[in-house]
Amino acid sequence: MSVDKDRVKDIALKHALINAVKFNGKASMNAVISKVFAEDPSLRPMAKEVAQIVKEVIDYVNSLSIDEQRNLLMSKWPEALGERKVETYKKGIEDLPPLPNDSKYEVITLRFAPNPDFVLHLGSARPAIINYAYKLKYEGLGKKAKFILRFEDTDPRTKRPLPEAYDAIKEDLRWLGIRWDEEYIQSDRLGIYYEIARKILEKGGAYVAAKDSGCTPDDWKKSKVTGKPCKNRDADPSVNLELFDRMLEGHYKEGEAVMVIKTDLQHPDPSVRDWVAMRIIDTTKYPHPRVGSKYIVWPTYNFSVSVDDHLMGITHILRAQEHSVNTIKQSFIYVHMGWEQPEAIHFGRLKIVGMTLSKTKLKALGIKWDDIRLPTLAGLRNRGIQPEAIWNIMLQVGVKPTDATISSANLFAENRKIIEPKANRYMAVIDPIKVIIEGVTEELTAKLPMHPSYPERGFRTLTLKPINNEITVFISKSDYDKAGPGSVIRLMELANIEVMSKGSDSLTARIHSRDLESARRVNAPIIQWVPPNGLPMRVVRPEDLKLVEDVGLAEPGVEQVSNGEIIQFMRYGFVKKVERDRFIYVHD
């Protein structure tokens, strides 16, 4: 029996990518080959040939950066990348209050319905996570549940969809570990909306205001103010059906005709009174990025949402409090059509201090949406924020009807809990200053743990050999500024030095003692240092909407850190390596 090389490569690639992404960019031969045999036990008799193929795949995977590994895994096996352990969020999911009338429904069906005029940001992650969390909650209770992704892109004029946003949003959701059971794009469903529009017109639940009909769009607007219906409101359905057909056939220009849902002209909220369900958009001037100028009659948000929520079997709608008026507007369609309206749960507004979440403002900045300065999910992902941190924040906020406020500090605190145990420690100095230690007759060695809480990860050793009885190290300028002649400083895990003289850009010192206890007796500060062969590097740090670059030296071992890996520069903060000598500041 011969080995199917392509099949083995495919299986090996999947498991090598999963293993590498899990373990800082380095896939393990033993771990991957055991997964390959577990997936296809028939390969065991050909172990030698299989091992050779697996080794080639692992060498390839390990040559990629972590970001490249993650992107490849996302493109080929997104479900593997998204398998965040539900255990991680189990407590938060269980604590969600039950949905109203949940026992009434055989299948709990929820949806996330973004407008692809921009990518997702931290604020829009809330409804995505909360809706999906409820799906997980009910599945955990043994009940059928469904999660639908629906792109709401029916306004090519004022909320023009971005062609690249559809896939970008899906990538954001996969990164969050969210999987959808069904996917819909509203611009593919115009025929469905036209069909339902006709049915409502036939039932007398809507009418058309058109320029040549005795009830113009201006007349309709006046009727909302006066409370007196315009002519077509009470006309025979056949009249309004004919006017609607004329809209579809192109007899009217933009602004010359609208289809209106009958509501209550005396309603205390003027926006609820007879609202527009269909309008004309000049798609020769404002072409839709997916369907071009094929259609000129487009449904409004409240119409398309009502139709889709019914046809897709949505049982519960979880959305922000500002949509409460939309729930009232949409109720009239359900009454006209004899449909049962989904349960609506409105949660309070989420204010995020220290981050701009306005789509308009973010677009106006003119920078790429994955820029680390932005609170977009792509920007946060590039910066080094973990999806688990966003989940934890959103589950803490939950579905309370009261407004909630979180800050970037809250997000960073959650992220710190996740990355702190994983991030190995390294020394780095910013704005390096030379320190010449005189009178050294033997080599000095520092043994530093990769992580103080996990000794099993091992240590790294830095050895300094004297040249002409001198050893040179570099420290940060901030530490240099605090030092002066006679002061004692402990170089972490190396030695205690006494400053003899201070130049404009250097210190001269001698060995004071070696042990930590001696440093404590004189209250010597413990500082980072880097040997002369340190790696020149720079850290890009977001400050509001500016980027600041910190230049310095890192200990030589940092060069072996994989691109995409997050480490901690001690006393500086967590950083993500993106190039050999370039890092992104995550947070402190």
- 279 vs 351: which has the higher pLDDT: 279
Q: Is residue 385 domain-resident?
A: no
The reported pLDDT for the residue numbered 357 is 63
Give dist(CA 563, CA 426) in Å, integer: 15
Tell me which of 502, 527, 552 is where a domain ends: 527
Quote the CA–CA distance of 130 and 525 in Å, as a whole number.
47
Element (H or E) spanning 3, and its range? none
Expressed as residue numbers, the domain containing 579 is: 535-587
Collapsed DSSP state (helix, strand, coil) of residue 359: helix
CATH number assigned to the domain comprising residue 507: 2.40.240.10
Classify residue 330: in a domain, yes or no: no
pTM of the model: 0.86
Identify whether residues 461 and 551 lie together within a single domain. no
Structural domains counted in the chain = 4
Mean pLDDT of 546-566: 94
Residues 208 and 290 in one domain: yes
Alpha-carbon span 161 to 149, nearest angstrom: 16
Q: What is the share, in percent, of the chain residues with pLDDT greater than 70?
A: 96
Q: What is the chain's length? A: 588
Is residue 521 domain-shared with residue 551, that is, in the same domain? Answer: no
85 band by pLDDT with thresholds 50, 70 and 90:
very low
Please indicate, yes or no, if residue 550 is contained in any of the structural domains.
yes
Residue 433 forms part of a structural domain: yes
Q: Do 512 and 562 lie in a common domain?
A: no
Q: Are residues 478 and 579 in the same domain?
A: no
Q: Which CATH number characterizes residue 567's domain?
A: 2.40.240.100
Does any domain span residue 94? no
Please determine, for residue 58, whether its predicted confidence score (pLDDT) is greater than 90.
Answer: yes
Pair 86, 140: CB distance under 8 Å: yes
- Band (pLDDT 50/70/90 cuts) for residue 450 is very high
Asked if the structure places residue 55 within a domain, the reply is: yes
Average pLDDT over residues 315-336: 95
Residue bearing the bigger pLDDT, 38 or 482: 482
Do the beta carbons of residue 576 and residue 586 sit within 8 Å? yes
Q: What is the pLDDT of residue 79?
A: 61
- Among the three residues 301, 327, 357, which one is the final residue of a domain in this structure? 301
Give Cα separations from 280 to 217, 261, 289 (angstroms).
Answer: 12, 15, 17
Q: What is the rounded average pLDDT of the residues 424-452?
A: 97
- Token pair 């409370």 is found at 227
Residue 486 lies in a domain: yes
Q: Is the pLDDT of residue 75 over 80?
A: no
Contacts of 287 (CB under 8 A, 6+ apart): 156, 293
CA distance 186 to 386: 31
The residue that leads in pLDDT, 400 or 573, is 573
pLDDT > 90: what percent of the chain? 78
What's the CA gap between 552 and 480, in Å, rounded? 14
CATH number of the domain within which 271 lies: 3.40.50.620
Average pLDDT of every residue of the chain: 93
| Residues 257 and 280: beta-carbon distance below 8 Å | yes
Instruction: Report the pLDDT value the prediction gives residue 82, as an integer from 0 to 100.
Output: 52
Q: Is residue 414 part of a domain?
A: no
> Which helix (H) or strand (E) covers residue 186, if one does?
none
Burial of residue 337, with CB atoms counted within 10 A of its CB: 0-12 exposed, 13-18 middle, 19 or more buried: middle
pLDDT of 42 strictly over 90: no
SS3 (DSSP) at 578 = strand
Q: What is the DSSP string of 380-425?
A: HHHHT--HHHHHHHHHHHTT-SS-EEEEHHHHHHHHHHHHTTTPPE
Residues 39-57: b if buried by 16+ CB within 10 A, e if exposed: eeeebeeeeeebbebbeeb
